Structure 1
Amino acid sequence: MRFHGQLVFITLLIMLLSACSGGSGSRYHMRHDAAPLRPPTTLEMQDAIVTEVTKSASASRPYTVLGKSYSPMLDETGYTEEGIASWYGRKFHGYHTSNGEIYDMFAMTAAHKTLPLPSFVRVTNTENGKSVIVRVNDRGPFHDDRIIDLSYAAAYKLGYYTHGTAKVKLEAVTISKVTPHSTYIQVAAGSTLMNIEALASTLRDEYKLPTNIVHKDDIYKLHLGPIEDAQQADQVLKKLKKNQFQNAFLLYTQQAL
């Protein structure tokens, strides 16, 4: 009977742990975590799109893992924290996260012990200044010295995928903090991702503006922006039209693309 009780306890513990908690047993095909066999593409390394979301009720309840109890936040507004970030990859790829989504090591996602699921947070590597916006959809990492576990793609973008951990600053991002009426310019569209990525790299260097690639119906659309100043957007558009992009046009949005 004692053995049966231990088995039940172990089974419940595995169910509580998220993908990044390092669970063991038959749930995972790999014994140890590892990096993927290829780097993320430019498209995969774009920031997560900040949207209105419905918080997971089940993921908002207090829970206990490895003898420690956690009480998830009900509202992430104003949240900021500094500490150590880690990342997780192939071992957990394709498995369910704590709010029922499927973990994708090439998506801009993260695990956090108490942020609402899902929510969005800007992660800045304080050692090199690189930052990324990720969608928090998992619980963990369950180590006292780490505050967030990023997907491989996010860690790659922040430049610490070969080191395992990095010092970071976290800042919650909500719809209210997204610049209203941001202006973008759609420069080009095509069916070949490689060509669009090459053009995006060229335009980033020339115009010193961010680029976004939107994929829909097998077409990749290249957007330049966001551009906060309307006058600057008009000037950039005129320059683009003079430089072979006659079909470029302005886009307006209430949130980041």
Structure 2
Amino acid sequence: MRLHTQLFIISLLLLLTACSSSNSGSNSRYSMRHDAAPLRVPTPLEMQDAVVTKVTKSASAGRPYTVLGKSYTPMLNESGYVEEGIASWYGRKFHGYHTSNGEIYDMFAMTAAHKTLPLPSFAKVTNLSNGKSVIVRVNDRGPFHDDRIIDLSYAAAYKLGYYTHGTAKVKVEAVTLENSTASQTYIQVAAGSTLANIEALASSLRQQYQLPTNIVQQDAIYRLHLGPIHDAQHAQHVLNKLKQNQFKNAFLLYTQ
């Protein structure tokens, strides 16, 4: 009986070790062997374009590097960059892991990977088959395939309409503060069915934040928007203050 017990324990340990090896994948830091789409579609808020802001370029991500035996030299300045080629997208396998400039990859954020654009930077990507466009924040390196020029987040690929196809022919244009269309930022503070209450809140917030307000009616609901706010950092600061108070569900809205 003792021998049988020992054999059973050894067999069980070998089985667990084999399962662990097959799940973790060999020579990979990712928990998934193959990439996959998320279990839900992006929300309308998640499909808002990235807001072009002043950024500090990553020095480490600007150094020449080699992947799969091929060397790449990142651009010092992205101004004027335009290229047409194939775009792909990446999703669940990489979700939650660090990008090349140290940020955390979020497949529902408007981001992208590029071989040589400075990190971070911004780009307008247009699907040439349907004319749909999106502005993304480039914060990662890749895709390391000779026939592809950019790798978009799942949300960006969803907005461009090629998430079910895997790839699409696109035009990529670098966007800087100098050549970007002036964007306007709003904050949706609250929503309710009683107009008088929303109007009173609007009056109070106008005085407190010295910003204009706008009440938008949709069906029987009144939505209070604070703005426009032309500086993205100021908008984020106001949003943080609102959330620290009683407006936990406030969020940013962008228009181009």
* Alignment TM class, shorter chain as reference: 0.5 to 0.7
Which residue number in structure 2 is paired with residue 107 of structure 1?
109
Over 3 Å counting, the alpha-carbon distance change for 1:56 and 1:221 in structure 2 is closer
Residue 48 of structure 2 contacts residue 254 of structure 2 at CA under 8 Å; is this kept in 1?
no
Which residue number in structure 2 is paired with residue 231 of structure 1?
none
Which residue number in structure 2 is paired with residue 207 of structure 1?
none
What whole-Å deviation, never above 9, does each CA across 1:85-132 have from its counterpart, x for those lacking one? 000000000000000000000000000000000000000000000000
Over 3 Å counting, the alpha-carbon distance change for 1:168 and 1:221 in structure 2 is same
Q: Which of structures 1 and 2 has the bigger CA Rg? A: 2
SS of the equivalent of 1:120 reads: strand
Superposed CA RMSD: 2.8
Residue 31 of structure 2 contacts residue 93 of structure 2 at CA under 8 Å; is this kept in 1?
yes
Which residue number in structure 2 is paired with residue 152 of structure 1?
154
Gaps of at least 5 residues in structure 1 are 1-22, 200-212, 227-257
Q: How far apart, in 2, do the equivalents of 1:222 and 1:59 lie?
A: 29
- Measured after TM superposition, the shift of residue 27 of structure 1 is 0.8
- Measured after TM superposition, the shift of residue 151 of structure 1 is 0.3
1:67-216 to structure 2, matched below 5 A, reads 67-180=69-182, 189-190=189-190, 199=218, 216=240
Q: How far apart, in 1, do the equivalents of 2:90 and 2:184 lie?
A: 35
- Measured after TM superposition, the shift of residue 191 of structure 1 is 6.1
Q: How far apart, in 1, do the equivalents of 2:251 and 2:33 lie?
A: 40
- Measured after TM superposition, the shift of residue 219 of structure 1 is 3.6
Structure 1 length normalisation: TM-score?
0.66
Gaps of at least 5 residues in structure 2 are 1-24, 193-214, 219-234
Q: How far apart, in 2, do the equivalents of 1:222 and 1:53 lie?
A: 19
Residue 80 of structure 1 contacts residue 170 of structure 1 at CA under 8 Å; is this kept in 2?
yes
Q: How far apart, in 1, do the equivalents of 2:254 and 2:57 lie?
A: 31
Residue 45 of structure 2 contacts residue 253 of structure 2 at CA under 8 Å; is this kept in 1?
no
- Measured after TM superposition, the shift of residue 177 of structure 1 is 1.2
What amino acid maps onto 1:190 in structure 2?
A
Which residue number in structure 2 is paired with residue 220 of structure 1?
250
- Measured after TM superposition, the shift of residue 28 of structure 1 is 0.7
Which residue number in structure 2 is paired with residue 61 of structure 1?
63
Which residue number in structure 1 is paired with residue 222 of structure 2?
none
Over 3 Å counting, the alpha-carbon distance change for 1:191 and 1:61 in structure 2 is farther
What amino acid maps onto 2:190 in structure 1?
G
Over 3 Å counting, the alpha-carbon distance change for 1:47 and 1:65 in structure 2 is same
Q: How many residues align?
A: 186
Residue 99 of structure 1 contacts residue 117 of structure 1 at CA under 8 Å; is this kept in 2?
yes
SS of the equivalent of 1:175 reads: coil
Residue 185 of structure 2 contacts residue 252 of structure 2 at CA under 8 Å; is this kept in 1?
no
Q: How far apart, in 2, do the equivalents of 1:223 and 1:43 lie?
A: 8
Residue 190 of structure 2 contacts residue 250 of structure 2 at CA under 8 Å; is this kept in 1?
yes
Over 3 Å counting, the alpha-carbon distance change for 1:184 and 1:140 in structure 2 is closer
Over 3 Å counting, the alpha-carbon distance change for 1:158 and 1:224 in structure 2 is closer
Residue 122 of structure 1 contacts residue 170 of structure 1 at CA under 8 Å; is this kept in 2?
yes
SS of the equivalent of 2:126 reads: strand
1:6-85 to structure 2, matched below 5 A, reads 25-85=27-87
- Measured after TM superposition, the shift of residue 190 of structure 1 is 1.8
Residue 76 of structure 1 contacts residue 115 of structure 1 at CA under 8 Å; is this kept in 2?
yes
Residue 191 of structure 1 contacts residue 220 of structure 1 at CA under 8 Å; is this kept in 2?
no
SS of the equivalent of 1:137 reads: strand
Q: How far apart, in 2, do the equivalents of 1:146 and 1:27 lie?
A: 23
Structure 2 length normalisation: TM-score?
0.66
